[in-house]
Structure 1
């Protein structure tokens, strides 16, 4: 985050794509954790190659394929871009296999400063003798899930939160006032500040309610036997889609459901861990997102850092109340028009320059 703030500082006076900058932060955090590798780094051919692979992966995964929903069409050739997906799988597989082979010997070293890949290797080779053991395919799949699920969703949530704060300047001022009270103006936001930023937490919760990153969540499957739930018959082996987008906008569950109002959570906070079914952006139960704590922390930290370090404004001629909030569906819900803003530094210059 420190490096990212310095990059934005150097571009002051130039319009920046907020989503792109947040994506650099989330990808590098997850990349360092999983592979000990910054996924966005200048003059690094390996990082650039993997970033392009991930962009292709997310784009391909989001496409609509009629054969997925009408199986007999897939059998007669309407399977979508199957050849493209096979080619992408091969390239991703080769990259991850190289990383696994390159770090295999590190998996048995001491416990200090291990990345996620090394921990997976330890689980693979230090099995408990019960016959269960991670395969290389398991490891590659887990790494791919970590990177794909842990980057785009957090990025889009921060971008939507910034969009709503730009549209509602009085709410931006409330967030900034809280940051000045808790953090001050002589230091940058630290993770230790986050528990005290109650209004910022309310803004993030309201953003996840109104703009859930995965509006239909991931598909679930019903058990082999049929089920009846609240009078509804669920056939066996059905794909179950949970429309969290609709639930979060249901007037029976929320007052003024289409209004962005973080104050609704100030004196009445909700838990996002799946216990309140009105708002479950991370899912619920045993299939809840395992990265819930990390994702929420990254979102809060990025949003707090952006608002605290800079004053943000739209390009000349654009009024906040008319900001285009159209949605575009990919793996997560994107803005149809990327959020482009000017950043003006708010903190003493040395807090940016010492990071360069």
Structure 2
């Protein structure tokens, strides 16, 4: 066989393989569009044929905007991938995430994954979740919150004093300062350790890496779906590779120091360790829970506070009403407490509306339909399919809320929430802390922290936003919002 003939046979072999691959791809797409059990559900055909469009928008950080467009175009139930349905209504919350005998487990590919593989409360199976939630629930109780108030007050005071010192030098990036306060707080409340962000006026390395860790996880989910985890380092941006493994080591070292040194402080670890009998947590579980709680409990609060600051300052009437409520209710900064801020109805409405407009968790928390299938909103969904409520689309859908893209805190006030034009708002569809037995344990602490910090900030300072930041909320989303700096001028109130 001469070289030319050999080359000809090789080319024929490649052509045959390419032809087979092409036939498989075409057959796969045709099956998904025309023969698949989800074929009757509305949605664009390209998305039904392949997960490529979903992954493209996820990679670009624009999936939340595109899913909202699809929900507006196709309705509250949309097929967004060959085996996935996205929902945008209250009924789906109850069916997918509510209490049920055969729990819809978390999707094995698109759920969160811990860097070490140990289960934490966010990813655990039903039995493990029940055990861990029992231990952690004491740390998030009302009595525990009251015990933590001195810590909240301490870091609120630190934040205010640092802002008072630095505000004379010019506009401040409030995203950074609110992030410093949130992470220092959760570090102390989780394992009695101060990250030192407020003291130094800069991000601790662990804090700085949070956004990169969220993005890395987003890429891992996509590579796992396509079965290329073994070569993921060639497809993941270099700056993201290894961030989660690197930073859980920091959390593990912090936990170990806390256990070895002991503490009289009733932090989250105190409640875990004091009830850590044979039904307690393993050391590996304690590490991943401390790691996850320190992120979930701080990043979400920092995001909500930053969003509330932006929305407040770009709506002058909201800002003026908030200032009046806080300053007319309190005659001194020391009067601002967890108890007193619970009575600030307009502040609470502003926080709730912020969570609707700019939810810290804006993505879908995917679940897998159990064997035998499930009826969701009157339509049967076969077992093995991925389903979930997409937070951002649900909160911005015009069929769920009046003026969905406008910041209107009045829709949540007791005196106006049930009156026109808000009486038709589907408020049950808004679940920023999720729903059912796996809802967020820390929601009461999060809201209390936001009320306290915001009230103190409004009491001490007059605020204004620097020009040119009107599009601040137009951000990419990869697990967490990719927040931009928010420059504000603060002027201490003269009294």
1:193 is the counterpart of 2:376? no
How far does residue 323 in structure 1 lie from its aligned partner after superposition? 5.3
How many residue pairs end up in the alignment?
Answer: 329
The equivalences for 1:95-134 within 5 A come to 95-105=250-260, 112-124=264-276, 126-127=277-278, 132-134=279-281
Structure 2 contact 180–198 (Cα < 8 Å) conserved: no
Q: What's the CA shift string for 1:301-320, capped at 9, x where partnerless?
A: 222222222111133xx278
Normalised TM-score (structure 1):
0.81
Question: Which has a greater percent of helix?
Answer: 2
Structure 2 contact 410–417 (Cα < 8 Å) conserved: no
1:177 is the counterpart of 2:324? yes
1:327 is the counterpart of 2:475? yes
Alignment counterpart, residue 405 of structure 2, candidates 253, 258, 277 = 258
SS at match of 2:320: helix
Structure 2 contact 158–198 (Cα < 8 Å) conserved: no
Structure 2 contact 313–464 (Cα < 8 Å) conserved: yes
Larger Rg: 2
SS at match of 1:254: coil
1:249 is the counterpart of 2:396? yes
Structure 1 contact 310–347 (Cα < 8 Å) conserved: no
- The verdict on how the C-alpha distance between 1:79 and 1:147 changes in structure 2, with shifts beyond 3 A counting, is farther
Alignment counterpart, residue 8 of structure 1, candidates 163, 170, 173 = 163
1:158 is the counterpart of 2:305? yes
- The verdict on how the C-alpha distance between 1:26 and 1:62 changes in structure 2, with shifts beyond 3 A counting, is farther
- The verdict on how the C-alpha distance between 1:194 and 1:298 changes in structure 2, with shifts beyond 3 A counting, is same
1:352 corresponds to: none
SS at match of 1:184: coil
- The verdict on how the C-alpha distance between 1:64 and 1:103 changes in structure 2, with shifts beyond 3 A counting, is closer
Q: What's the CA shift string for 1:140-162, capped at 9, x where partnerless?
A: 11111111111111111111111
Alignment counterpart, residue 48 of structure 1, candidates 204, 208, 220 = 204
How far does residue 19 in structure 1 lie from its aligned partner after superposition? 0.9
Normalised TM-score (structure 2):
0.60
How far does residue 216 in structure 1 lie from its aligned partner after superposition? 1.9
Q: What's the CA shift string for 1:217-268, capped at 9, x where partnerless?
A: 4333333442121233333343333212122122222222221111121125
1:39 is the counterpart of 2:195? yes
1:285 corresponds to: 436
Structure 2 contact 308–351 (Cα < 8 Å) conserved: yes
Structure 1 contact 150–295 (Cα < 8 Å) conserved: yes
Structure 2's unaligned 5+ residue stretches are 1-155, 419-425
Structure 1's unaligned 5+ residue stretches are 349-356
Q: 241-250 or 229-238, which moves further after superposition?
A: 229-238
How far does residue 333 in structure 1 lie from its aligned partner after superposition? 2.8
1:299 is the counterpart of 2:450? yes
